Amino acid sequence: MDDADATPFDRLRAVLADRSAVVGVIGLGYVGLPLAVAAARRGLSTIGFDIDPAKEARIKAGRSYIDAVASDELAALVKAGQLTATTAYDRLAECDVIVICVPTPLSRHRDPDLSYIETTGREIARRLRPGQLVVLESTTYPGTTREVLKPILESSGLVCGRDVFVGFSPEREDPGNAAFDTASIPKVVAGDGPQASELVQAFYGAVVQQVVPVSSPDVAEAVKITENVFRAVNIALVNELKLIYGAMGIDVWEVIEAAKTKPFGYMPFYPGPGLGGHCIPIDPFYLTWRSREFEVPTRFIELAGEINTAMPNHVVDVLARALDERLRLAVSASRVLVVGLAYKKNVEDVRESPSFKLMSLLEARGAKVAFHDPHVPEAPVTREHPEFAGRRSVALSAETLKDFDAVLIATDHDAVDYRLLAEAPLVVDTRNAMARHGVQGEHIIKA
């Protein structure tokens, strides 16, 4: 076929096949930067886009800002010309494949906030040209790619499925997981129509080890929601069991450790101080919101959300009772050190971390609160708790502990000295960290 006679589909399929395609990744956070590195690693010329000039500068300097990407590899890819970063969205016209990895938070009323997707879609539409594939990776409710993103792209005058192509592939990043990375996690993919499906499979097949095609973007969107609803519901279950067994004087962590020896029919989940991260606290509400349009109740999911959302209040209540009973001290007169600002162990990611809620609840009761986190030297700006921005992690030492009446373990980082924490007058442990490190004491309370 003569190049002049080639369709946009034919041209795009050809550049994907010979790996001459240029890839653009919009949003260089915990999802976008690892994906950009994975694409560049496989020989695809990759441009990262972000509105933050600091990220552009750090990438061009070969300095990573997330744990999942090593600075030495980033620097090597940048030096080789395989990867660059920019804030100039006009460069989208250079890209054959554009992947959207922007946030999808909740509004204050727990409705989906698609403003980042919509704004990004409009930026793409202004520069869209025939022969481009646009893939959404941001977690959202089923129907978003087809009903929200596709019409925005077609506002350019180009037709999806003929001139340009659209698909969805849910991100599956797990910060801190050393066993899997972007390339080794199976990738669910879907295109809007058969040609888009072929193209999205060809693109991700060039980047990751295993591609799992499904029939439509709606199904792919539902896959991601299902994965995170599954976790949210099961975490809510063990959180509720923690309350029930606690009232009976039974240690829920001991129960779980024994139960997981069963080689079939059981999967361990663990209680905690509340849900954190970019997915599990948010995604179930996307599904409950969407289900209202179809007049289908989501009682089970909503109940799980209520249980998990209530956990920080429970933890603070346990701490307040322990202060009163063991130290004869009111919360309002106490000094509390929260250990762990990140939402999970051994990462620097603070998105939706329950530690912020714990600190806010304690300060609302009059306590003086500080935090220690070996991975988070300074609290960043967050949408829900901007009052903590700039607060710095305090050093952990025997001398430091003398300044506090209680330690509240919110995140069980491996780098924390738990035997040192035992020197505090009171320790409230939401992660069973003290027991797992062999530290016991009457002043250690599980919550």
Distance of alpha carbon 118 from the chain centroid:
20
Tokens of 302: 């909503």
Closest CA to 189 of 165, 158, 154: 165
Q: In what order do the strands lie in the sheet with 444-446?
A: 368-372, 335-339, 406-409, 427-429, 444-446
Q: How far is CA 412 from CA 57, 429, 432, in A?
A: 33, 9, 8
Q: In whole angstroms, how large is the CA radius of gyration of the chain?
A: 24
What is the residue-wise DSSP string for 332-387?
A: GG-EEEEE--SSSTT----TT-HHHHHHHHHHHTT-EEEEE-TT-SB----SS-GG
Closest CA to 97 of 154, 153, 166, 145: 166
Helices and strands (DSSP H and E) totals, the chain: 16, 13
Active-site entry in 95, 101, 160, 279: 279
Tokens of 161: 């499925």
Q: How far is CA 219 from CA 140, 186, 222, 285, 303, in A?
A: 12, 16, 5, 18, 24
- Tally of CB atoms within 10 A around 166: 27
Q: How far apart (Å, rounded) are the C-alpha atoms in residues 378 and 381?
A: 10
Q: Is 279 a catalytic residue?
A: yes
Largest Cα–Cα separation, the chain = 86
Tokens of 76: 């090597």
Q: How far apart (Å, rounded) are the C-alpha atoms in residues 275 and 280?
A: 7
Q: List phi, psi (to 5°) of 194.
A: -65, -40
Residues near 230 by Cβ (< 8 Å), separated by ≥ 6? none
> Coil, strand, or helix at residue 326?
helix
Q: What is the DSSP letter of 133?
A: E
Find out whether 345 and 378 touch, Cβ atoms under 8 Å: no
Q: List phi, psi (to 5°) of 244.
A: -65, -50
Q: Please report, in angstroms and rounded to a whole number, the separation of the first and last CA atoms in the chain.
A: 68
Beta bridge partners of 187: 211
Beta bridge partners of 212: 188
Instruction: Give the catalytic positions in this structure.
Output: 279
